[in-house]
Amino acid sequence: MSHDFRVGPWIVQPKLNTVSQNGDSTRLEPKVMEVLVCLAEQAGRPVPKEAILKTVWPATFVSDDVLIRSISELRRAFQDDARDPRFIETIPKRGYRLVAAVEQMPGSAQGVFNPSANVDRQIPETRTFPRRISWPLAGVALACVVLLLALFLGNFGGLRGRLLAGGNPAIHSIAVLPLKNLSDDPSQKYFASGMTEELITDLSQISALKVISRTSSEVYENTDKTLPQIARELNVDAVVEGSVERSGNRVRITAQLIYALEDKNLWARSYERDVQDALGLQGTLASAIADEIRIRVAPQEQARLHRPRPISGPALDNYLEGNYHLSRTGRGFGDEETRKAQEYFQLAIDEAPSFAPAYIGLAYAHNQASCPSGPALLHVSRRDYDIARAAAQKALELDPEAPEVHGVLASLAISDWNWSEAEAELRRSLALNPNRAESHDALGYFLIALGRPDEGTKELQYAQEFDPNKDHLANFYFYQGKYDESIRLTERDLAHQPDDGNAHYGQYQTYALVGKYPEAIHELEETLKLYGFADKVPALDDTFQKRGFKAAIRLQASVTEKLQKSEKIYMPGMLAEMYTLVGDKDRAFYWLEDAYRHKYSVGADGTVLWLKGNPFYQPLRSDPQFSDLVRRVGLPP
């Protein structure tokens, strides 16, 4: 086990427990290194789990989970992907295989490579102790004692914690539960919610750490489930929980890190700062967590976590209020929440003109097209597009490495029907934050819409991994014509988030195509109510009971057309689908052509993007008018 060797481009040094490439070194736990050596001895051949466990843990009973975590840590060190392995391949129900080339390093013993070939022949060393210690050795011993005292009394650089934490379990995935609002004012809940989101965002930018999306962790805000239960459901190693307390211009954040498998508290900290340093505090907290779990943080990621982000209290309040109102759109509230969000983001900009997140928020509030798979039930005009474009460009100038700004630039490129730019911006967003479920979801459905389902499905699976409590695959099955699976996944999604208007709309679409008309009518009514049209929903169920499904859909189409004139909403795709359902191809083509004429509107870009993939349009595809429309919008063949 003493010889150095190479695995692909990586240099492995078992004595130092390190793997390195181009001068960049990663330290492994000793047992993890032993697993690697065990696989390297049998490079290219399957190694049974039992053989690895017996070799690495010969006198200790350990479960498969320990081995699985060791393999996961090796994959992270080698930057490997279990779905497309270049280094370590899983042999289902059997074991693992090191598939990368293994070779002995120059200067090591010659012959067939076997890192542990001489282990069995080693003779135990007999140690004798001299009667006197030479002065040089005594000096070294004294220096060690002084160093240890300094470390444990002063804890320089947090090294004492790292030394004492040597027995801590490996942590590569984490979830942040909603921080509790301990302020006297209950209305400050939006502030605690904003601090939770900022912490998740900062942690998510550490590429070596898997971080669960807020949309999945927030469902546990008032849960009775234990932390081990939550961790199992989210498939994470550790959970962060804590609280936020705001008093005047001071904010206090307390957080603790819990190893979920054992419900063991590994670390706890409390910070108190001025409100103007609240965002920078989240970066400090994220960095402290990364340091505690000994996860590798790239230099550029470390710099971003520690960058100063001072902002005045009023500007921060307006920004967080904007996010709060934007998140309510389609969850029982309509366009009024979007407009409130726009107002708050603009107030934040007026207060802090160089605060990039406020511009990003304003761009999203005026665009509302961040997910190409969802319906557009609210109007976004050319004026909204222009404001969103200007805000996004300003945010890009202020913070070109913000993943969110590239997400909104991607959706604006879709509004431009610039498919190549949209893909480039989505990939840039993921390069800056590989944990961002929204970008994986958006890229996945974008690629599927362009006729690249294999690539798109892979991105959707990533989105599902980072956001397990929100479904990201139901729409995929819908577009593939696998309606039963789509219905099942959406039902599960709605059990977690029953107020999600997008999910109800997707369920309406699927029920309508499979002929489950009573269910379709119910889901359509729920969608319209959740988007704020409760007082404008006609008696769909009554019409359905008396005159049938097509009559009810025709009634809703007629009401929707009137709403577009009076409320300035725009739903051409929804109308084209409804008229196709009732067999009125002329009106369906009218609204598809109207979407073509209204470039830069959210309702138009979603309609145009899904011309080829939306199964509602199947009855129209044989018509030359449809082929001509596809050609004009520039979708690839």
Q: Give residue-wise pLDDT tens across range 381-413.
A: 678 888 999 999 999 999 999 999 999 999 889
Nearest to 457 by CA among 438, 477, 439: 477
Residue 92 lies in a domain: yes
Among the candidates 310, 342, 368, a domain finishes at: 310
- 91 with 154, same domain: the answer is no
- Parallel, antiparallel or unpaired: strands 250-259 and 264-274: antiparallel
Among the candidates 310, 339, 362, a domain finishes at: 310
Residue 125 lies in a domain: no
% the chain with pLDDT above 90: 33
Nearest to 446 by CA among 460, 431, 433, 429: 460
Distance separating alpha carbons of residues 13 and 35, to the nearest angstrom: 13
The number of residues making up the chain comes to 637
pLDDT in tens, 47-76: 998 889 888 877 555 567 678 878 888 988
On average, the pLDDT of the chain sits at 82
- 23 with 86, same domain: the answer is yes
pLDDT in tens, 210-255: 999 998 998 898 888 888 899 999 999 999 998 988 887 888 888 8
For 551, the token pair is 């009559």
Q: Which helix (H) or strand (E) segment is 242 a member of? A: strand 238-247
pLDDT in tens, 327-369: 887 776 667 788 899 999 999 999 999 999 999 999 998 886 4
Distance separating alpha carbons of residues 355 and 319, to the nearest angstrom: 10
- 187 with 106, same domain: the answer is no
Distance separating alpha carbons of residues 549 and 521, to the nearest angstrom: 8
Residue 333 lies in a domain: no
CATH of the domain at 13: 1.10.10.10
Q: What is the DSSP letter of 329?
A: B
Distance separating alpha carbons of residues 318 and 324, to the nearest angstrom: 10
pLDDT value at residue 50? 86
Confidence of residue 546 (pLDDT cuts 50, 70, 90): very high
Residue 252 CB burial class (10 angstroms; 0-12, 13-18, ≥19): middle
634 to 64, 420, 537: CA distances (angstroms): 52, 11, 36
- 150 with 194, same domain: the answer is no
Supply angle C-alpha 220, 226, 228, rounded to 5: 105
Q: Which helix (H) or strand (E) segment is 30 a member of? A: helix 30-41
* pLDDT of 198 over the 70 cut: yes
Query: What predicted TM-score, i.e. pTM, was given to this entire model?
Result: 0.69
Residue 580 lies in a domain: yes
- 534 with 561, same domain: the answer is yes
- 156 with 177, same domain: the answer is no
Residue 404 lies in a domain: yes
Distance separating alpha carbons of residues 479 and 435, to the nearest angstrom: 25
Residue 290 CB burial class (10 angstroms; 0-12, 13-18, ≥19): buried
CATH of the domain at 233: 3.40.50.10610
Nearest to 463 by CA among 145, 216, 296: 216
In the chain, count of helices (H) and strands (E)? 28, 14
Residue 356 — φ and ψ, nearest 5°? -60, -45
Q: What is the DSSP letter of 333?
A: B
- 197 with 73, same domain: the answer is no
CATH of the domain at 435: 1.25.40.10
Distance separating alpha carbons of residues 149 and 151, to the nearest angstrom: 5
- 88 with 179, same domain: the answer is no
The interaxial angle of helices 540-547 and 517-530, nearest 10 deg, is 160
Distance separating alpha carbons of residues 623 and 511, to the nearest angstrom: 25
Q: What is the mean pLDDT of residues 531-554?
A: 87
Confidence of residue 416 (pLDDT cuts 50, 70, 90): confident
Among the candidates 310, 342, 363, a domain finishes at: 310
Contacts 24+ apart (CB under 8 A), 522-525: 524/556
Distance separating alpha carbons of residues 436 and 453, to the nearest angstrom: 20
Distance separating alpha carbons of residues 102 and 19, to the nearest angstrom: 13
Distance separating alpha carbons of residues 248 and 242, to the nearest angstrom: 20
- 290 with 407, same domain: the answer is no
Residue 126 lies in a domain: no
User: Residue 98: which domain range?
Assistant: 5-120
- 481 with 623, same domain: the answer is yes
Confidence of residue 136 (pLDDT cuts 50, 70, 90): very low
- 260 with 161, same domain: the answer is no
Strand partners, 245: 252
When divided into structural domains, the chain yields a total of: 4
- 52 with 74, same domain: the answer is yes
Residue 223 lies in a domain: yes
Answer whether 634's CB lies under 8 Å from 527's CB: no
Residue type, position 259, single letter:
Y
Residue 623 lies in a domain: yes
CA atoms within 13 A on the CB side of 481: 4
Task: Give the chain's radius of gyration (CA, Å).
Answer: 29
* pLDDT of 522 over the 50 cut: yes
43 to 36, 46, 48, 64, 637: CA distances (angstroms): 10, 8, 13, 21, 44
